[in-house]
Amino acid sequence: MTTALPEIFTTHDMKAAYIGEFKFSLARDGARLWVTHRFVREFNKFGTESGKFLGTIIPDGGYRPAQGSGPYVQRVKDVILAVGEEGIEFIIRNGKELGECTFCGRRLEDPESVIRGYGPVCKVNHRL
């Protein structure tokens, strides 16, 4: 059984997930997710610098890559697949490995949080 990433966001009341080099964030419609690169930056049409936009994940979990996201498409798909198979555990383990909170991207300092893979505030906010 696989779980679509937007469904995991709904279940855990998530606004964002920092997974590897990518950030997945809830779109304003509250149903789709935006995929951006955390480290590759670009300027949008309003002149604001942000992570490179890599596409949209629609509610059923399908990925719609953005123009110019070619070099990243396969890795984004790999993450979506892994999350689909393992669910929230994959997301949390990823944060653990990087030593940062998956949900807010903050560095984990407290030993208990490091072991757990997310901070105390996100633990409450995401019903974990």
> Which residues in this chain contact Zn ion in the complex, by CB under 5 A?
101, 103-104, 119, 122
Nearer to Zn ion, 61 or 117 (CB): 117
Is the CB of residue 78 less than 8 Å from the CB of residue 64? Answer: no
- The dihedral over CA atoms of 36, 80, 32, 66, expressed in degrees to the nearest 10, equals 50
For Zn ion, which is the closer residue by CB, 61 or 119?
A: 119
CB of 85 to Zn ion, least distance (A): 24
CB of 31 to Zn ion, least distance (A): 23
**The two three-digit tokens of residue 106, written as one number:** 């903050």
Nearer to Zn ion, 85 or 110 (CB): 110
Number of H helices and E strands in the chain, helices first, is: 5, 5
